[in-house]
Copies of this chain bind each other. A is one copy, B any other.
C-alpha cells in the first residue's frame, strides 16, 4: 500500500513536471520565434551592431534552451520507463522521437523567412581571408570566415527558413565537444575481464571486420550508383571515393541500446564483451578510414578512380594517424598523484582533455586519441587514484557521456526535419539498407568462421545472428556524415545515414528482447547458475585460453611486471620482478606504496589472467605458471587448492555484478571491495 502510494505520488509528480516541461518547451520555441521576428523588425532600422550581437546571443540561448528542454523531457520520460521496466525503448531512441516531434513543429509550425539583412557582395579580392574588415560608410566591422558555399546553395539560402537555420549547429561541435566524452567514456569502461579474454576476436571484428564492411558497402553502393546513373535517378556527381566514404561512416556500430538491455538482462558476458569491444574500437577505425579517404580525395580530384597506389597511401596515412593518436593517448594516460580528490579529479579531466587538444593541434584525430587515452587511463591511472576520485571520475564521465549521447540523438531527430538540404533518393536509400545489411553480414559471418577455427570456446551461430542484429548505427555515424554536407553526394549520404540510424535504433534496438528469446540466448547468466558449467567444461576451457591468448599473455606479463610497477602504485615492486643487477634502478622507480601493496597484492587487473594459472593449480594440471602474482605463487599448489573453495564461496556471496564470469571461475578475487576478508599473511604465504 505504501509502495503503491509512493509510486502514485511519484507518477503524479513526474506527470506534473512533464507537463511543465512541455509548456516550457513551447514557451522557448515561442521565445525563439519572437526574437527572430524582433530581429527581423529591428533589421529594418539602422541599429547599432551591439544590439544585433546581443540579439544573436539571445537567439542562441533560446535555441540551446530547446535542446535542454528536449533532454529534460527525455530524462523524465525515461525515468518513468525505467520505473515501469519498459525495455522496448532506450533513452536514445526516445530522445530521437522527441527530436522528431520538435523538428516537425519547427518545420511546419513556424515560418520565419530569411533575414533580409543578409547581403551578398561581389568583391575584387583573389583570396578568401580568415578575417575580414568591412568599411561600411566609415565604420569598420570585423567578420570571420565561416564556410565556403556552393553557388547553387546561395540561391537556396535566400528562401531558407531562418528559424531552421538557427537551430542548426556547426557540425564541428559534434566532433569537438560532444563525441570526445562519449568516446572517452567507452574507452574508460572497457576495463572488463571479458574484454581482454576475447581480445583477439574483438580486434579481428573491429579492425579487419570494419575494413571489410567498409569495402563491401562501398562496392555495393558503387554498383547502386552506377545503376542509378543508368536509370537517370542521380541528380549530381557521385564518385567511387564517395561510396567508400559512405562505407566507412556506416561501418561504425554503436549498439548502446542493445548493450543497455544486455546489461539489464544479464546476457552472456562473452557476447557482451564481443559487441561492446567491437563497437568501441570500430569507431576509431571508422574515423580514421573516413579521414584517410577524404585526405586521399583532393589529390585524385580530377580522376576519382580507384588506384592501388593511392589506396596504399591512404593505408599508410591510416597507420600514421592511428599510431600517432594511440601514442598520444597512451602518453598522457600516465599520471601519478594520490591525494586531494578534487585536485585529482580536475587533473584527470584536464589530462584527458589535453590529449584531445594535443592530438587535434598536431593534426591527428582527437577522438581516436581520446579513446586510447580512456583505455590507458582506466588501465594505469585509475589505479593511482584515491577511491574517492575513482568514484568521482567515473560519475563525471558517466554524466558527460549521458548528456552528450542524448543530445546527439535528439539532435538527430531534429535534423530529420530542420536540416534544409535533404536529398531523399528512394533507390539510394534501399540500396544503402541492403548494402549495410550485407556489409554487416560480410563482417560477422566469415570472420566468425575464421575465428572459430582458432577458438575452442566457439562463437555459436545464435551469437553470430545476435551480433549481426546488434549492428546499430549511432552517434559516430551521424557525426561523420554531418561533418560535410557541401556536395550533392554528401547530402544524399547524410539523409540516408539518418534513416539507417533511425531504423536500426528503433527497430533493432526495440526488438532486442524478442531477438534474444528467438535466438534462445540465455539471459540472467549469473555466477551461481554458471558454476556447474565451469566445473564440467573446466579442462577444455583452460587449454583454450592457453592456445588463443599466448600473445596476450606475454604482453600481460610484461605489463604486469614492468609497466604497472613503473606507472602505478599497484602491482609487485620492481625489485621483485627485475633481475637483481638492476637493483638500484628498481628501487628508484618503485614507489613506497608498491612495497606496502606487496603484502596485499591489491591489483584489480590481476584477475584478467589469473583464472588460467590458478585453475591449473586447483585442478592439478601441469602447465607453465603464468599467474598474475608473478614469482610469488610457485609456492604450494595444495594450499592454493584449499584456498579456492573458500574464495568460491566468498564470490558467490559477494559476487560483483559487473565482473561476473562464465565458464571459468575467479580463484583469487583480489577486489578492494572486500576488506574484511583480506588477510595479508594468508596472501603472503602463497
Q: Is B591 in contact with A9, judged by CB distance below 8 angstroms? A: yes
Contacting residue for A123 out of B118, B121, B148, B347, CB 8 A: B121
Answer yes or no: A343 CB below 8 A from chain B CBs. yes
How far does the Cβ of A668 sit from chain B's closest Cβ, in whole Å?
26
Answer yes or no: A350 CB below 8 A from chain B CBs. yes
Which residues of chain B come closer than 8 Å to A64, judged between CB atoms?
357
Closest to A70 in B: B350
Contacting residue for A148 out of B10, B43, B50, B395, CB 8 A: B50
- Give per-residue flags for A100-144: 1 if the beta carbon is below 8 A from chain B beta carbons, else 0: 000000000000000101111111011111111111111111111
How far does the Cβ of A41 sit from chain B's closest Cβ, in whole Å?
14
Contacting residue for A357 out of B68, B139, B354, CB 8 A: B68
User: How far is A61 from B328 in the complex, measured between Cα atoms in Å?
Assistant: 15
Q: Is A340 in contact with B134, judged by CB distance below 8 angstroms? A: no
Which residues of chain B come closer than 8 Å to A346, judged between CB atoms?
71, 75, 399, 402-403
Q: Is A592 in contact with B121, judged by CB distance below 8 angstroms? A: no
Answer whether A131 and B118 are a contact pair too, CB < 8 Å, given A17-B335, A361-B61, A396-B399: yes
Answer yes or no: A82 CB below 8 A from chain B CBs. yes
Q: Is B79 in contact with A49, judged by CB distance below 8 angstroms? A: no
Q: Is B361 in contact with A35, judged by CB distance below 8 angstroms? A: yes
Answer yes or no: A5 CB below 8 A from chain B CBs. yes
Answer whether A343 and B79 are a contact pair too, CB < 8 Å, given A62-B357, A350-B72, A362-B31: yes
- Give per-residue flags for A132-165: 1 if the beta carbon is below 8 A from chain B beta carbons, else 0: 1111111111111111111101100100000000
Q: Is B65 in contact with A354, judged by CB distance below 8 angstroms? A: yes
How far does the Cβ of A22 sit from chain B's closest Cβ, in whole Å?
14
User: How far is A78 from B344 in the complex, measured between Cα atoms in Å?
Assistant: 11
Answer yes or no: A192 CB below 8 A from chain B CBs. no
Which residues of chain B come closer than 8 Å to A46, judged between CB atoms?
126-127
Which residues of chain B come closer than 8 Å to A647, judged between CB atoms?
none
- Give per-residue flags for A602-621: 1 if the beta carbon is below 8 A from chain B beta carbons, else 0: 00000000000000000000
Answer yes or no: A219 CB below 8 A from chain B CBs. no
Q: Is A9 in contact with B592, judged by CB distance below 8 angstroms? A: yes
- Give per-residue flags for A305-348: 1 if the beta carbon is below 8 A from chain B beta carbons, else 0: 00000000000000000000000000000011111101101110
Which residues of chain B come closer than 8 Å to A403, judged between CB atoms?
346, 349-350
User: How far is A633 from B14 in the complex, measured between Cα atoms in Å?
Assistant: 34
Answer yes or no: A360 CB below 8 A from chain B CBs. yes
- Which residues from 591 to 638 on chain A have a C-beta closer than 8 Å to any C-beta of chain B? 591-593, 596
- Which residues from 352 to 387 on chain A have a C-beta closer than 8 Å to any C-beta of chain B? 353-354, 356-358, 360-363, 366
Answer yes or no: A390 CB below 8 A from chain B CBs. no
Which residues of chain B come closer than 8 Å to A49, judged between CB atoms?
128, 145, 147-148
Answer yes or no: A2 CB below 8 A from chain B CBs. yes
Q: Is A140 in contact with B154, judged by CB distance below 8 angstroms? A: yes
Closest to A128 in B: B141
Which residues of chain B come closer than 8 Å to A229, judged between CB atoms?
none
Answer yes or no: A172 CB below 8 A from chain B CBs. yes
Which residues of chain B come closer than 8 Å to A685, judged between CB atoms?
none
Which residues of chain B come closer than 8 Å to A591, judged between CB atoms?
6, 9-10, 13
Contacting residue for A340 out of B79, B157, B362, CB 8 A: B79
User: How far is A130 from B115 in the complex, measured between Cα atoms in Å?
Assistant: 9
Among A51-59, A264-272, A418-426, the stretch that binds chain B is A51-59
Answer yes or no: A251 CB below 8 A from chain B CBs. no
Q: Is B129 in contact with A125, judged by CB distance below 8 angstroms? A: no
Answer yes or no: A83 CB below 8 A from chain B CBs. yes
Answer yes or no: A526 CB below 8 A from chain B CBs. no
Q: Is A119 in contact with B126, judged by CB distance below 8 angstroms? A: no
Which residues of chain B come closer than 8 Å to A366, judged between CB atoms?
61
User: How far is A146 from B68 in the complex, measured between Cα atoms in Å?
Assistant: 26
How far does the Cβ of A34 sit from chain B's closest Cβ, in whole Å?
10
Q: Is A121 in contact with B149, judged by CB distance below 8 angstroms? A: no
CB-based closest 9 A-B pairs = A61-B360, A143-B143, A62-B361, A49-B148, A120-B133, A13-B336, A61-B361, A5-B592, A122-B135
A residues in contact (CB < 8 Å) with B = 2, 5-6, 8-10, 13-14, 16-17, 24, 28, 31-32, 35, 43, 46, 48-50, 52-53, 56-59, 61-62, 64-65, 68-69, 71-72, 75-76, 78-79, 82-83, 115, 117-123, 125-151, 153-154, 157, 172, 176, 298, 335-340, 342-343, 345-347, 349-351, 353-354, 356-358, 360-363, 366, 392, 395-396, 398-399, 402-403, 591-593, 596
New A-B contacts (8) at CB < 8 Å, excluding given A72-B350, A75-B350, A349-B403: A9-B592, A17-B337, A61-B360, A79-B337, A120-B135, A121-B123, A121-B135, A140-B149
